[in-house]
A and B are shown apart, each in its own frame.
Chain A
Amino acid sequence: MVLDIEKLGVFQIFTGGGTGTGFLIDDRLLITNCHVVEGYRMVAVEKRDRQRVVGTVRRLSPKRDLAIVELGVPLEGEVLSLVTEDALQPKQMLQIVGFPVGLPLSVTEGVVSNPKQQLDGLEYVQTDAAVNPGNSGGPMLDEEKNVVAITTCKLSSADMIGFGIPGGEAKQFFDGFREQTAVFGVMCPSCDVLLESPTRYCDSCGIDLGSLDLARYFEPAVAHPIVAFVEGALTKAAVDPVLARHGEQNWSFHSGSAPIKIWCCCSEHVCFSSPLAKLGKQHFGELFRFLLSDEHAPFSFDLADNVVRLNLTVHMSDVFQSGEHDHFVKQISDFIASADRLDNVLIDKYGCSPAPDTQLTFLKEGTH
């Protein structure tokens, strides 16, 4: 089967804890893994054009590792159907679609190794198709493009042993959601009844939910001081931190045309960097003088693989010195604005070309 994966409603999900995959079960609802969105009520979902939209986590099933995310806007993409029949056979072909290790959308192929593998009292579809971090929450498709399972995990100590949650169980979870009206809820790990608020014992089956630490699914993750610092600054710079999150202490977004990346390179620094433009074919002397000029301080430029990057480094002592935060909030805002302005300068004045991640549609809209 030839699969045009770009047309499938399969999208990458970003949180402050990592990235995963989700797929459309209607134009505003995604299914993914609970562990992909756990700790976050708002997540970012990236479209094919790299624009991100906010998704709201509506349902979690920690036991079955399933979640439903409602999108702020409908997304284009083929809605996938969940298989309900119990017809999977060993050696039947299946394809896993997702974003392994953060790479662009890709597909791996394999066979069903065991359609009803039992692990810890739960049933899984076992496959030899490659499963990697980032694939979580993505669909396992049969030859008719039906979702036979939702990718969830693999055995790290063995090769080619991946697992998916059977499509029938995902369908049951989704059908249950359709019948409910609660904005947010977590399914009881014992009886699958919907819990709308944290409670010590399940009202239905009486299980001790405290011992299962279920309350954490109701509470947003406590922001690390570095996260609070960066996201506070982003908010002041009119950047939605939910849309910017790119895994743990890692953010990426566009300021107009310019891509901005933020990460902790070590225990001492928070790095802000924007790959602005690729070197052109001439004007090197003038360009390099411009890049090294002290007029850009406290920002600086460097060259990495022929790409000019604008950089700012914040020392960790400044992150933990709340009295100085206003200074850095302004500095970070200036950095974000400068990146959007300077890529135009490099291209217009010094003959550079757009960097691989430059958003061309916004290129001329920066303020010169």
Chain B
Amino acid sequence: MTIRAITFLPSLRRSTRRPPLNFALFEAAVALYEENRPLDALGKVFEHLMPGLPSPDLKKAPFTFTQGSSNVTVLLDGDEFVVTVPLCKLPSGPTAVAAMRHVLTKISGSGQLHQPRLHGDEIKLEFRDSLSRLHPAKVVEVLRRMPNEADQHDDWLIGQFKAEPLNRAEIAPLRAEDVQIAFSMWEQHWNEVEELLNESRRKRSIFFLNELTAFATNRITCVLPLYGFLVARLEEAVSTFNNAQEDPNKRETTLAKCIKDMKAVEVDELSMNLGYAEYALSPYQEGTPQVLKAQIGPGRYMDMVEELFKSGKSIDSALALVGTYYYLAARFSWEAAVEADFLAGLASVSGKPWRETTTALLEHAKMMSEKYGSDDEKDEDGNNGDDEPGEES
């Protein structure tokens, strides 16, 4: 059966809204560092990265913050600044070797300031450097990359190799009724992705495959507060099926296998992987007027979507627009009004035929771009626009 429409799934996730980063604070931190005031510089870095929170006094006590499932501890050890994130305790059986190999292959590496270290059976991500060498850029890199790295890998180590959790952060569970809602959305999502995959195989279009794979990961990320081993498994598949550099056949096969795996997840398993994690540092990219305009404002991508629509490929254009909306809603932190408008746009086309969906979202995107977009400055990646959205994961 050919899929006729995409259903809007309301988000059970908490708002992605975070106060914007104040880069004047970062510049002040650099100035303080250059004045040989590394502790004051450190304070400014924390103010910059954690807006609205008081800056920790590391001279008095270590400071711990939560980033997803990871508890991050920062402290002063003499004249050294130390950051530690526990990963896991090695399992006692033969899977310990595989766990360590995973750490050495996937987490250790050149080009990063932090490294995993083994203390007895405990694996921790660590960074240590003298205060005199603690340029704020280094601190920002470590505090942003290291906890996310831990957050990405600890569930895999625990789920795949039976490693033991180590000082993991609490994750607030969903209410029972919300778990049921989440499960129906989960089923709905993967059923629709499966039908879209059939369409992709019929069409044999790289554009459609790109839009489908982005939609497959972004919608579920947008609507459900997922964490845990299920996310780690999903991310492993995403790294192949949402990778435009991979062979298209391999991408389709991986997506098909992923759909099968995800459809086999029962409500109890899903429930164990749902919860509200805390993030001291925003895990989202900052949603700015420039980003919005670059993605859904006038430009090459939206022209292409319109061209597809005009040439009768309304399923392609509709999927592209819905996928882009979910991408923006899932991956960026927006002002509340912008976030609400994105979701309202998606809700307005729920279950509507492809042509109607495209017409409505093209109009809605135009409204969003005019109301909230701007191309005054380049976005964070230095792009002015014309990017093809939906590829990022």
Contacts and interface: CB of A to CB of B under 8 A. Distances in A.
Contacts of A268: 137, 141
A265 interface: yes
Interface in A314-365: 315-318, 321, 323-324, 327
Interface residues of B, number: 28
B116 to A, nearest CB: 6
A284 interface: yes
A313 B138 contact: no
B132 A292 contact: no
B104 A301 contact: yes
B389 to A, nearest CB: 24
A39 B116 CA distance: 42
B3 interface: no
A316 B117 CA distance: 23
B123 interface: yes
B123 A292 contact: yes
B111 A289 contact: no
A317 B137 contact: yes
Interface in B135-162: 135, 137-138, 141
Interface string B91-122: 00000110011011100111111011111000
Name, among A271, A289, A312, A317, the residue most crowded by chain B CB atoms within 10 Å (CB to CB). A317
A4 to B, nearest CB: 38
Contacts of B138: 315, 317
A132 interface: no
Contacts of B118: 289, 292-294
Contact of A318 (B104, B128, B133): B133
A324 B132 CA distance: 8
Nearest to B141: A268
A291 interface: yes
B128 A288 contact: no
A302 B105 contact: yes
B126 interface: yes
Given A289-B118, A321-B133, A302 B113 contact: no
B137 A288 contact: no
Contacts of A301: 104, 108
A interface, size bucket? 20 to 34
Interface string A269-293: 1011100000000001100110111
Contacts of B141: 268, 315
Contacts of B137: 268, 315-317
A272 B111 CA distance: 9
B117 A294 contact: yes
Contact of A294 (B96, B111, B126): B126
B5 to A, nearest CB: 43
A168 B108 CA distance: 55
Contacts of B123: 292
Given A297-B128, A324-B132, A313 B101 contact: no
A297 B96 contact: no
Nearest to A323: B132
Contacts of B113: 269, 313, 315
Nearest to A292: B118
Nearest to A314: B113
B101 A288 contact: yes
Contacts of A313: 110-113
A297 B110 contact: no
Contacts of A298: 128
Interface string B53-96: 00000000000000000000000000000000000000000001
Name, among B109, B123, B130, B138, the residue most crowded by chain A CB atoms within 10 Å (CB to CB). B109
A288 B119 CA distance: 13
Interface in A241-278: 265-266, 268-269, 271-273
Given A268-B137, A273-B110, A317-B137, A297 B115 contact: yes
Given A292-B103, A302-B104, A271 B110 contact: yes
A64 interface: no
A303 B111 CA distance: 14
A294 B116 CA distance: 9
A309 interface: yes
A325 to B, nearest CB: 11
6 contacts: A294-B118, A297-B115, A301-B104, A303-B104, A311-B110, A313-B112
Among all A-B residue pairs, the 6 with the closest Cβ atoms:
A317-B135, A302-B108, A288-B100, A292-B118, A300-B115, A294-B117
Interface of B: 96-97, 100-101, 103-105, 108-113, 115-119, 123, 126, 128, 130, 132-133, 135, 137-138, 141
Interface of A: 265-266, 268-269, 271-273, 284-285, 288-289, 291-294, 297-298, 300-304, 309, 311-313, 315-318, 321, 323-324, 327
